[in-house]
Amino acid sequence: MFVAADHLRLFDQADQLIHMLANSDIAARYRACKVQMAEDEEAQTLIRKFTALREKYNEVQRFGRYHPDFDRVIRQMMDVKRELDLNDTIASYKKAEEDFEKLLVEISRSLATSVSPSIKVPTGDPFFDRGCGGGCGAGGACGCH
């Protein structure tokens, strides 16, 4: 059973981990890429263009092929998405964000498995986030017994 002192020690250690993460090279690169993207007018124009088109895309998706603008909006969405993906500033930001997310997932997984290998940790990947569906003790695909 935890006592108040144990809780305080855990909170102090969590604060240390947060400080280490916030001051890491990977976090610094993420913040730098975020600032660079915010200051890049071409990137911001593309983002605004994508956001406006996404509203049209969502409307078209509600009706599917029956919407009169379906083909045109889908094609525009693919073109804008390609522009976003090919923009160096946006690509750098996405890569830095993905790298930082991977680090957080690794830390979460390490913390969880140190307690029990059957604790599920969201990874952002639906293939790996699937559990046995019955919780621990169900003997399902996750291997818990």
Read off the pLDDT of residues 9-35 as tens digits, 9 standing for 90 and up. Answer: 999 999 999 999 999 999 999 999 999
User: Domains along the chain?
Assistant: 13-116 (1.20.1500.10)
How many of the other CB atoms lie within 10 Å of CB of 79? 12
Closest CA to 133 of 121, 144, 125: 144
DSSP 40-105: -HHHHHHHHHHHHHHHHHHHHHHHGGGSTTHHHHHHHHHHHHHHHHH-HHHHHHHHHHHHHHHHHH
Check: pTM over 0.95? Answer yes or no: no
For a pLDDT cut of 70, what percent of the chain falls above it?
84
> Residue 12 has what pLDDT?
94
53, pLDDT greater than 90: yes
Q: Which two tokens stand for residue 15?
A: 């604060």
For residues 96 and 62, the answer to whether their CB atoms sit within 8 Å is: no
Confidence of residue 130 (pLDDT cuts 50, 70, 90): low
Read off the pLDDT of residues 55-97 as tens digits, 9 standing for 90 and up. Answer: 999 988 888 888 899 999 999 999 999 999 999 999 999 999 9
